Chain A
Amino acid sequence: MNAAPMVALVGNPNAGKSALFNALTGARQKVGNYPGVTVERHSGRLALPDGRPVELVDLPGAYSLDPGSPDERVTRNVLMGTQIGERRPDALIVVVDASNLDNHLRFTLQLIALGLPVVVALNMVDLAERDGLVLDPAILSEALGVPVVSTVAVRRRGIEALKEHVGAMISGGARAKVPEESAAVEDIVAVQRRARSIAIATTVSETPTRRWTHALDSIALHPLWGMILLATILFLMFQAVFSWATIPADAIDAGFGALGAAITAQLGDGFIQSLLVDGVIAGVGAVLVFLPQILILFLFILLLEASGYMVRAAFLMDQVMASVGLSGRAFIPLLSSFACAVPGIMATRTIEDEKDRLTTILIAPLMTCSARLPVYTLIISALIPNTPVLPFIGLQGVVMFALYVFGVVGAFAAAFFLRKTVTQGASSGFMMEMPKYQLPRLRDVAQGLRSRAEIFLRRAGTIILYSTVALWLLLSFPKPPVGSPVSPVNYSIAGRIANGLAVVLKPIGFDRDIALALIPAMAAREVAVAALGTVYAIDNPDGGVGQKALAANLQKRWSLPTALAFLMWFVFAPQCISTIAVTRRETNSWRWPAFMVGYLFALAYIAAGATYWAAIALGL
């Protein structure tokens, strides 16, 4: 693969680059990371008509070579050959949106000035034609001095012609010249004017048509109807997460239960059996159950992004976000954080203002991510009575909803105070291109879902597997001598650590067992459920295992104030190694992840304590 020539796909955001990338490479794609930054590196193998392989890299969309965001910086560095761990491309495919020529040609001119062999893909010509725009690629090619191919990536039009040009470029042996400094710093206004005159020359005819994007926007951006539409979409999204996921989740749960039973039947009780069933299967199974929920949430987010609606949501939310010192752009990462804070924090890369981006990163973990659901569901179903509050609405549902609201309110309050103190700065701006609405392509969405599922499974297979096995070991050893009055858990290493921690947690209503569950939950929140199960199972081996036994244990051992305090703790506590790690990478320092962990633990302690004592005062 390394010997193959490398060709980079580059262009403005919304030029249809990813669809073209998918059309050129098919399923032969790899998603990785550029070293040192979390910008994703999409690469794939492109087979030329004569069979030669080419490595195609899809660079992040950019408006110019003057980087405004971390994404754009990667694009610039790769093109300049200064990105660590990446070769300089041998040739470029510059993607331009045919209906947005005057704007996209400016970046094209800058790219041609780099001196690399270039072919221009005049993409989405079908949409331009629908808008009444007729273009002449030959005039464009002559004005730019490089070949131009008309393409419709989603219908695979022009793909073969494009491949032939790529073949010609890499056989031409044209050596990449080191860019002259003047090319990069050329006066942007002059380039813009030249781009516009080329666009005018290329345009054969233009019939103004009332675009349907405008008609849709009249509703989507309407002060009242737009808000109702947004609320409806969000409601449907969460409804889907909770109801559609039940069937596949139950199937996964049953599968792991059967697997555990089969292993026990094969091996009988013993060390290996306990390690596999109580450690590996109980731990990893407890987490994999949430794969359907996470995928449904991501499906919605990918669809909202691919259709162009997400930017409209950002537009509607800008004023609300501005009231706490954020920009409408922060809405997108925060919404993704309801699935998982890790991709949410990664999505902040498109926020240009540094302080704005940092604030968004710091509050993202407060959005109720899907890893909290197992904890919430277990505690609520075991300890909150489902007394009807209103017709069709039970107390359990109200408590669940309240936990989501606490997260959001907490996040906004935190943003407000952070913007006044540690991330103080000029109020951030909001300036965004609003792409045309598009029907999302099934294949592109499926590709996105697949890579999300892979990331999640890798996480379940590593961090969560190791931490549950480690907890099992710490809980199982050393074993108390036969006849000792000390329980196995108290005698174990983990029990001794937790006994120390319990002193600090006692004022907020947490006992030794809860302290014990919180330690491994540092790796990931959902581990708390598996950990409680393991703690009670090892402490009382005859009590049975599984959700029912665990719920019975909780009802026997926990008071209502403790349960409420525990839920509040999980609204705020930063119990997720992946989030801390991604914050470290995105902020490029230990300072901000340390700050985040500190302020969130402080909030968790205060909120849990206040809840505990308030509940006791109310006689609950």
Chain B
Amino acid sequence: MERTRNYYVDLRLPRDATPEEIRHAYKEAARRFHPDVNPQPGSSDLFIDIQEAYETLSNPQRRAGYDAVLGLDGKAEPAISLNTVYSRSKIPYLEDSQLFYILLELTPTQAPEQRNNTPLNLAFVLDRSTSMQGAKMDMVKANAIRMLRQMKPDDTISVVAFSDQAEVLVSAVHSPDLSRTEARISLLQPRGSTELLHGLECGLNEVRRHLNPKNINHLILLTDGHTYGDEEACYQLAREAADQGIGISGLGLGDKWNDEFLDKLASISGGSSMYISAPKDLHRYMEEKFSNLVKIFAENLTLEFEYDENVELRYAFRLAPEAGPLPIESPMRMGRVLSTKALNIIFEFLIKYAPGQGKEVSLAKGRLTMEIPSQLVPIERFNINFSRPIGGNPSYEPPNPAILQAMSWLSLYRMQEKARQEVIDGDITKATRHLQYMATHLLSKGEKELAHTVLVEAEHIQKSKQYSNEGDKRIKYGTRGLLLPPGMENENL
């Protein structure tokens, strides 16, 4: 092939894009990169590229010729297979509301050795506020240096430290001068308060310098405290980042960070947060995060969907990899598929009314798009249509075992969420009862240690009307760690 240009990448299009989509993508891109509106150097070159891409792809004959040059002939097997599991094969005919579950499984179809190593474009944003003083800071520095040493020639890694202001310690370049950057990191002194916004912004800008759908574009945020007043602005940044295909992961160190905030921030881009109780564990979590990033096969999975007026999505949860709740919104960022591990998501739908016999209920309809960096045309797209026929009387049909299994753990996670809300609402009796029920089930499942934590916490709540410093996080992340489907190694514990 004489040229490395990829028109599909230029316009961010899937290989089976319709003429309508091509026109739409071109208009979008043209608006962004037109030299009249975008004064940044290089944008006019980009604009010419877009122009060229559009001229080729919009003409069916030229497109066919180009596809042949690229080696895209006919219908190839999609690189990801999609499997939908329904809790029951039919929806019972009921005038009342009822619940229905769907488990979505996405698995790479290629053997692991056929997937090449995708370059990383990573920013490591770390908290250097005064509360990090001591062991935490030392561990963070050691891990940042270790991460730099692990990078491959194609990777770019930047390191940003923030307190009330942000500073780029290592800027995003290929093969940086290791000894100098290591010295800069090790000289880092804790100071100031935690203000996440600056750090996040600075880190994202570093990632953006090498933004490319052929890379894994990601930001790891490490903090040990609360940020005050700039949460909304942070969410906004995360949304913009998600739109550009940058994922965000959160690492919370110690007991005082705001897990609700970090969880939400990460989930906006389909990422997740982790709880690291002791600084000495940081290494293990960083290694895990890093190895997961290297194993990313498809990323930026986005589900755009709509549902019938009789249907409502009540809950969505990613079981693997990196268990965590997903925001109930369209587009929904679902996270990533690892080359070694399927992406499993469970949905709970509320069907308010199942109309007549023999009809179909459409639970949700939409489109799932993703980027698969290793593919020639990285954008892949699936049409989603969750629907089931309405069947007979509500006679008893056993639910799908995989869904039942997943829900047996997820129901405990949700009980924990409930108890947490009840403590906030001041309903201590209810919260204690829910925690006791939870402990009971954990015990019967053989999770003695976590059950004990839960019981101790229930007593603490009864006495002091609130969670202990670490109790709520330990229970939340502990329960989350149990959610991985059988056969998967326990990663989050």
Same assembly: no
A: residues with CB less than 8 A from B are: none
